[in-house]
Amino acid sequence: MTKIELDATKYAEAMAMAQKTTANVSAYREFTGSFISAALLTRIISRWDHKGNKKFYKFKQFCDHDLSVKGDSWCEELGITKKEFEAAIKKIGFKKGKNKNLLTKENAIVWYYTDNNNVTWYEFRREQFNKKMHEYLINKELGLTTF
């Protein structure tokens, strides 16, 4: 395969991923109650899948930590502020070790925690997501409140 063919293949894959992400954000917006939470959820699911359904780390913002990479933080990737990120993650996640969470640990579709090295790890709870999405779709069909 030539470089041009390889670049075209990568471009096609990127475009397919962008279209899928856009469709998911639209579908998840009402489910999560927020456009930013929906965009964050699609990125968490994508990264979870890419990492083989294993927890992964990502920084909220670029910082001087050895593992932090310029352009790879949540805020940079999504083009949002720290405050917007914090509001979005609270709508879908439960922070382990924290007393004040909007969601219970059982109801959250994302669990996250910061380790002793100031690295935040994320776990997508696919089974809980499927359950909550099923409940949401039934409630929507019945005209009841959502997530």
- Tell me: the pLDDT tens digits for 45-96? 999 999 999 999 999 999 999 999 999 999 999 999 999 999 999 999 999 9
Q: What is the pLDDT of residue 147?
A: 52
Q: What is the pLDDT of residue 55?
A: 97
**What residue spans of the chain are helical by DSSP H?**
3-32, 35-50, 74-78, 82-92, 126-142
The domain in which residue 112 lies consists of 3-142
Any domain includes 147: no
Any domain includes 112: yes
Strand 93-95 to 110-114 pairing: parallel
- Structural domains of the chain, count: 1
Any domain includes 79: yes
| 12/27 Cα distance (integer angstroms) | 23
Any domain includes 16: yes
Whole-model pTM: value is 0.81
